[in-house]
Amino acid sequence: MKLLVSKKPVLLSIIIGMLLMTISYFFQPLMPFKSIAHRGASALAPENTLASFEKAIEMGFDYIELDVRLSKDKQLVVIHDANVLRTTDGEGLIEELTVKDLKKLDAGSWFSPAYAGEKIPLLTEVLKQASGKIGIIIEMKSPENQPGMTEILADVLNSYKSDSQIKVQSFHINEMKKFHKLAPEIPAGLLLSKHLDLFHLASYRDFASFLSVHHLLLSKSFINQTELFGYEIYSWTISKQYQFADMQRLGVHGIISDDEKRIPDSIMYVLITPFLKGQDLIRTLLA
């Protein structure tokens, strides 16, 4: 004889469990964080330009985050891509263009006609602009493929007297080890797109004081582990408003984002947040 088990109690238990999880989630404290403008205030101005950095200062961000590459004449220029095609009216590789060549390009019109004539800045120009106004996090782009970048950056920062907090990060472990030896007074960090085990967390602490981690990799347990070693944790890159609260509930120390955190316009936005998160999760899984 088959036992007939009602599905109603099971379904009710699931619903109650989901409600309790949702309630407990929203009642977790929102921890304070350092706001870090991704390539400047890049939602409102062309990325990695003096205009985007000035906008971030006006908006009250704690830090700007920027990318550096070496030009043909071995100067540190602020740009994300290896090629100028996406963010200027020119074309060609950064490593094949001199600063004089790069300064002829329009780095603002692609974003908006209002920024026509904006130029690719040198790192030294940004340091001068930001000094005493906002912190700076510098990412070395592909330093392993650009001989001399790490040494040049260390020389620039060691000789530059700024009133701003400056930090340097990269995905490349060996180059960050080298940078720390050359400029031990400047906080060094690692960018992560995969999980680290306890062994690596312990070994990287010799040269790194912070970790910038993709937000989808972050969990409360991981952050608790990293705090045992004294790391600060920054999440990248936050593009949706509800994600700020997610990161605050996890307890990250800094949030790298294109735009600032805003207070939700209505209680309805708060109520539909779980639905929005579910949509994003499905898109991520299907990507």
Is 253 one of the catalytic residues? no
Give the β-pairing of 232-238 and 135-140: unpaired
- Specify whether the backbone of 55 is left (phi greater than 0), alpha (psi in -120 to 50) or beta: alpha
Q: Is 38 a catalytic residue?
A: yes
Give CA separation, 106 vs 112, 125, 179, in Å.
11, 17, 32
Q: Which residues sit opposite 137 in a β-bridge?
A: 65, 167
Cα 7 from Cα 110, distance rounded (Å): 57
269-60-50 Cα angle (round to 5):
115
Instruction: Say if strands 232-238 and 188-192 run parallel, antiparallel, or are unpaired.
Output: unpaired
Phi, psi of 198 (to 5 degrees): -65, -35
Length of the chain: 287
Q: Residue 182 to residues 22, 126, 152, 207: CA-CA distances in angstroms? A: 48, 22, 10, 11
Mind giving me the DSSP string for 218-284?
--HHHHHHHHHTT-EEEEEEE-SHHHHHHHHHHT-SEEEESS-----SSHHHHHHHHHHHHHHHHHH
Type of residue at 6 = S
Spatial distance between the Cα atoms of 39 and 100, rounded to a whole number of angstroms: 22
**CB of 261 within 8 A of CB of 239?**
no
Q: Write down the catalytic residue from 38, 172, 180, 253.
A: 38
Catalytic positions, written as ranges? 38, 80
